Amino acid sequence: MTVRRTEVRPRPEGGGSFAPALGGGSGANRAASAPGAGRKDMGLSEGSTRTAGVGEKRPPRGGGSGAARVASAPGEGRESIGMTRERLYLFDTTLRDGQQTQGVQFSGAEKRQIAGALDALGVDYIEGGWPGANPTDSEFFAAPPATRATLTAFGMTRRVGRSAENDDVLALVLDAGTPAVCLVGKTHDFHVTTALGVTLDENLAAIRSSLAHLAARGREALFDAEHFFDGYRANPGYALNCLRAALDAGARWVVLCDTNGGTLPGEIGRITAAVVAAGIPGDRLGIHCHDDLGMAVAGSLAAVDAGARQIQGTLNGLGERCGNANLTTLIPTLLLKEPYASLYTTTIAPGALGTLTRVSRMLDDILNRVPHRQAPYVGASAFAHKAGLHASAILKNPATYEHIDPSVVGNARIIPMSNQAGQSNLRQRLADAGLDVARDNPALPLILDQIKEREDQGYSYDTAQASFEILARRTLGLLPTFFEVKRYKVTVERRKNKYDRMVSLSEAVVVVKIGDEKKLSVSESLDADGTDRGPVNALSKALAKDLGPYQGLIEDIRLVDFKVRITQGGTEAVTRVIIDSEDSTGRRWSTVGVSANIVDASFEALLDAITWKLIHEGAHVR
């Protein structure tokens, strides 16, 4: 059976009519009355066998020992399906909605960096912000990055009482010169009469004239239908009239917004299907979900099932209140999971999916926050297998407890070590570290005993994988001694500065021996701005200041997270410190230290971090 390949025509840069996104037909999508409806005519009858998505696991066939691996790039292996895939468009709003997250404020340079990462990932639209709303957005649009994706400016429909041509707020949005403009407007009659204080007809006129003004200026026009689902429940006729007004005026897309984030996925699917059935073409219909119920991803997929063909969302689910639909979850789901992998095509490049974890962590790094370990697909724990039973099965076949190959999204499998670990976990973790240890090696039970003993003392190795590797190497006699710390000292002084204000200053002294040579390093805790960063910062800088022949291998280490936990109460408390480090390649590792003294615990973790880095850089003992 042959496959008819769909030719996707590019979106026009200017105004005028828009060609259907799919070759053949009128461009209007089917009016599916329920999720999944209408798929039989695409060559997918009920009960038919589908090829697994990229990286997705299949059960073993014929009693074989391993599950068959599937295609390595999006699109492979689909020739047997005998169907035309429809085009889905991805609209990223991280630079606008993401900036509405509490505590988030991007600089202009950071916005350009994020835009570059999004463009390399392959999204269709990048919404850069609201020109004129704040200095950062104005700076961004004054010198916008060159992107393959359609750069989009955000604004609102004209104010009632002014024409579109004379609305200064709308003029600032158009002056940004972007090829596309997205305007938000009210579609819930309650908001029109109460929040705006205008009549329903006046609001419709504002929508119509604003979108017509964009089209007349040669811009691709998008309309965000604010509070659409609430509005549809209250007055479906009026909510639909708002969409029709935008489309009739020349809008390329009308986007259904669950602005309050309170609509369940089933209702999103039902209402979206009703909108399509009412004559709004699916290939001009988008979905914009907020995550107040923790269901924004599910709601977005429900809208796609019902006929919508544009999804709006943000990287890592950034957004106001509980966030927006998470594109970091949606993108791999659309590319790897059925039925989406077989029904739809996107512009996400095959190789780009493998950078998803790095892009997600880049954003967290810009925000100076710790990545969410349990994040689907990209979290550090997304493919972590702690229980001995699970790890044993993973050794036999990863498909037993992994829904995809972690490397497809740029992530990695982790077999954490803890007091629940068995030899299966241990041998797999050692293998991941490049240590091939025989099953009958007498050191294996010794390593397990040490882990259990040290966790009783307060250590935690399920999150500190680098410290576990160092412990195992030491027990196996495979830990090189690059340098020896002879002593260290940290002092903290509190004094008045020249402005007669009390300030703290920490100073650290570290003496190390490398071969036959001793080296003394001193460092203060003040940063370039003269701000005190504390005793651990001073100690870290002193330790890494001069390691002689190893200095070039450790200069790119930076500490990205520092966690402290008191494992026992009272004045005899024991402190556990976990440090996350990163190098210039984006590689991250975690180390742990435990002591009654927080500085001593921190120093132990710092030592492990440097030692691990030197091992993995292939350093030689001097």
Task: Please give the helix or strand (H or E) that residue 189 lies within, else none.
Answer: helix 189-191
CA distance 547 to 617: 14
Largest CA distance in the chain: 87
Over the chain (622 residues), what is each successive 10-residue block's mean pLDDT? 34 36 35 37 35 41 33 39 83 96 92 97 98 93 96 98 96 97 98 97 98 98 98 98 98 98 98 98 98 98 98 98 98 97 92 94 87 92 74 75 93 69 73 86 90 88 89 95 95 86 90 94 85 88 92 92 79 86 90 94 96 95 84
Q: Could you tell me the pTM of the whole model?
A: 0.70
Note the pLDDT of residue 36: 37
Give the HSE-up count for residue 178: Cα atoms under 13 Å, Cβ half-sphere. Answer: 36
Note the pLDDT of residue 388: 57
Note the pLDDT of residue 306: 98
Write down the number of H helices and E strands in the chain.
19, 16
CA distance 602 to 580: 11
Do 69 and 405 form a contact (C-beta atoms < 8 A)? yes
Note the pLDDT of residue 88: 98
The closest alpha carbon to 489, from 610, 599, 337, belongs to: 599
Decide: residue 453, CB within 10 A, 0-12 exposed, 13-18 middle, 19+ buried.
Answer: exposed
Note the pLDDT of residue 149: 98
**3-class secondary structure, 234:** helix
CA distance 332 to 368: 25
Note the pLDDT of residue 41: 37
User: 522 - beta bridge partners?
Assistant: 509
The residues, ordered by sequence, that sit 6+ positions from 25 with a Cβ below 8 Å of its Cβ are: none
The residues, ordered by sequence, that sit 6+ positions from 64 with a Cβ below 8 Å of its Cβ are: none
What are 386's two structure tokens?
């702690």
Beta strands 310-313 and 89-92 are parallel
Please state, in angstroms and as integers, the Cα–Cα distance from residue 208 to each residue in 247, 248, 253, following that order.
8, 8, 14
The residues, ordered by sequence, that sit 6+ positions from 605 with a Cβ below 8 Å of its Cβ are: 464, 467, 577, 578, 579, 591, 592, 593
What's the distance, Cα to Cα, between the start and end of the chain in Å?
65
CA distance 452 to 128: 51
Q: How many residues does the chain have?
A: 622
Give the HSE-up count for residue 87: Cα atoms under 13 Å, Cβ half-sphere. Answer: 22
Do 403 and 394 form a contact (C-beta atoms < 8 A)? no
Do 605 and 471 form a contact (C-beta atoms < 8 A)? no
Residue 38: CB atoms within 10 A of its CB come to: 14
Note the pLDDT of residue 424: 66
Output Rg (C-alpha) for the chain, integer angstroms.
29
Please state, in angstroms and as integers, the Cα–Cα distance from residue 224 to each residue in 135, 312, 488, 575, following that order.
23, 10, 60, 51
